[in-house]
Amino acid sequence: MKNKVVLITGGAAGIGKATAARFAQAGAIVVIGDVNEQLGKETASLFGADFFKVDVSDRQNVQEWVDSILERYGRIDVIVNNAGVTRDGLFIKMVDGQLVKQMSEADFDLVLNINLKGCFNVTQAIAPVMVNQGKGVILNASSIVGLDGNFGQTNYAASKSGLIGMTKVWARELGKYGVRVNAVCPGFTATEMVSAMPEKVLENMRNKTPLGRLGDPCDIANAYYFLASDEAAFITGAILRVDGGIVLGT
């Protein structure tokens, strides 16, 4: 991985931060893209990475980001499409036969625009670069929610299921150019956001996971690293669960 140019969206914190650290430790040139400028710069400074403020839902912003990276480094070897948000809520809530609440269209659109269309925007800007190089790796952050569904996450599940579908299509379309495309589906992972939840909720997550613990962000980062490496040279179109064995809803 030494001197390979690795882009990570949503790399300021959580799994993205751990992924940036993993690739940087291996000698990669890491470029973090995130909307949180202060936190992104702080994270980048820890690993000697570059930081760009980028909104993945903004196609023009994404293209400007990619153009700046090409101007600076001349190539892009790996993209980890990690940027994502949640806006959880019930699809509908009924009381005594009356609709009292439902997921808002705005919350649905926001999650799809960032999680799904954002990945589309970034990859569509980068794929021609990789095709012309004759090689490259595209890694998409799906979720076990995209495979199994989860209570109160219609928008998130839709976005993460969509990423699985796009991963399989892109693997078919780009394979002949030497570009590999895979997705990782994390389970309950102890990011900063998750760790701040009440202990009762965390204990429930651990109890539902056969390995008896939450995932560490490094567990997910190691999966990304393997899939980006030459050791995974014959793996494309794969959907890798990194979830401690959990199956949601059971």
Q: What is the DSSP letter of 10?
A: T
Q: Is 27 helix (H, G, I), strand (E, B) or coil?
A: coil
Cα distances from 72 to residues 28, 65, 69, in angstroms, run: 15, 11, 5
Q: Is 13 helix (H, G, I), strand (E, B) or coil?
A: coil
| Integer-rounded Cα radius of gyration of the chain | 18
224 is catalytic: no
- 156, 177, 224, 225: the catalytic one is 156
Query: What's the residue count for the chain?
Result: 250
List 141's β-bridge partners, or say none: 184
Q: Is residue 39 classed exposed, middle or buried when 0-12, 13-18 and 19+ CB atoms within 10 A define those classes?
A: middle
Q: Token pair of 196, please?
A: 């701040």
For the chain, the distance separating the N- and C-terminal CA atoms, rounded to the nearest angstrom, is 39
Phi, psi values for residue 61, rounded to 5°: -60, -45
What residues are annotated to the active site?
A: 156
